[in-house]
Chains A and B, each alone.
Chain A
């Protein structure tokens, strides 16, 4: 399983044709305490870069973009009652949804962990 990152601070962990999507540790720290998360429901389809979810902190509300195109197979329903999970474990239990990947080729446009770290260091 390999994980890819976007410049907008989403991650996608790929296992076969299913990708698990969330926001990165860096994003979670920048947002501050997350107070509300709205994740997509199973069956919803997104193109790469579409608004897919909403994450709200005390400071601001932000859209989360689909890192690649796909159809949602499962949303993380636990986040509705426990938005703090996004701060506690953004790249683990704080996942947003699972996507059935439409085009594996789109993954090549994303960063790996090392490239993402370099990218964040430059911000």
Chain B
């Protein structure tokens, strides 16, 4: 035969050794990565530039006395550093992201295509308004959708995230109280114990006093406690409520709550973070809401959590609409224009929150999402989101402890009651990392011990939900059995269990060069 000599073994040889220690610290293609200061050193530069000569010093007496100590890296070193770090990240494009109350749904690629159209992507806020009529029309169109879906007469488009929208709503409430001559007397804002932390923070930021309402045994607002807080009403500014609340439960008494607050002379702020559970099914305006922010980066599928900026348009009732911040889009005979000043059409506005009109790129994505789904599709979004969460609750309830009885809305909440002594919620969360999943929201809401809050959203398939539940079931069973190995999870992540206590007690906030003399010698 004609002997072929370039063959090589192509099947793996079974090895006895399970783990391999590498010299570099890398694990195969998951490379070890040092800090950028440790990769480069201040003595070298990645760019060849001639040393300037004949240069007159124009800095007076403030010329730098020491070298900056910045590391010099070649371009491939710098690119690889950030590329490797990016590969440590977890993203919705990599896997299910079950963070409760975060609505980490898929970001459709169609949204991206629309946002990259040059007519939207390449315009500038300071262009003459007659050259960006299409963009202004899009903002107006999105505003119409938001008003229709919420049953509210007005919307402030400029807030840039959820908490910013809360600020917008509370500033509108404050302005309304000032216009009634009660700005100094009505200072008390009621906030349920299960509220997002941003709610009381926003109220305080606006100069209000927070009064906490207890939760009842069903995880909802304790009506007796609420009525007790409303015995005196002269100082009531309003209430901040999330519906569905952070226990994943619909506040069934919401209409009565709204009526009580209105009778007390206050306003009803609804935190719209959980709107995904009710979009297309319930109009907050029908529930008596006066203001609600809408997280476009949750309900309306724009990127979320490091993937892109948030956007928090805030819908307002008739009572608050006159106080909406500038700028806002209006249409007249000549087309669309922005009302920029607190005069004329904007005379009663409480002011301005941002330099321009808001997150244009997110507006394009959100409207694309709405148009591609249609009103019926958005209704199905809420239905499927609730169905998926209930599927998760049903698949896990025999091995974990649901925090409350009955069906949930868009997120399933469990307590740590099922775990053996010594095993905590955090151990379950860390073990999920080994299984390749981002952990759920943990230790929130505060009203449930060792809370685990899981929101799958409607964009996960049944197969993916099953894979997630299969993994979580095994972890939960290990937790119930008291498997001590959970205490050191994750084992397979780039970094294993970190000492969060030491990090908090003795934080090292700054990299220190190993030999500071080298820099001082410059």
Contacts and interface: CB of A to CB of B under 8 A. Distances in A.
Interface size grouping (class) on chain B: under 10
B446 A58 contact: no
A56 B507 CA distance: 15
Interface string B382-425: 00000000000000000000000000000000000000000000
B446 A60 contact: yes
A60 B504 contact: no
B356 interface: no
A33 interface: yes
B446 A33 contact: no
Contacts of A56: 504
Contacts of A84: 505
A36 B500 CA distance: 13
Contacts of A36: 504-505
Interface string A44-69: 00000000000010111000000000
Interface string A66-91: 00000000000000000110000000
Contacts of A59: 443
B501 A35 contact: yes
Interface string B492-510: 0000000011001100000
Tell me if A's interface is mostly helix, strand, loop or mixed: loop
A52 B509 CA distance: 29
B443 A83 contact: no
B23 to A, nearest CB: 35
Contacts of B501: 33, 35, 58
Contacts of B446: 60
A7 to B, nearest CB: 13
Interface in B478-522: 500-501, 504-505
B451 to A, nearest CB: 11
B442 to A, nearest CB: 9
Nearest to B442: A59
10 contacts: A35-B501, A35-B505, A36-B505, A56-B504, A58-B500, A58-B501, A59-B443, A60-B443, A60-B446, A83-B505
Interface of A: 33, 35-36, 56, 58-60, 83-84
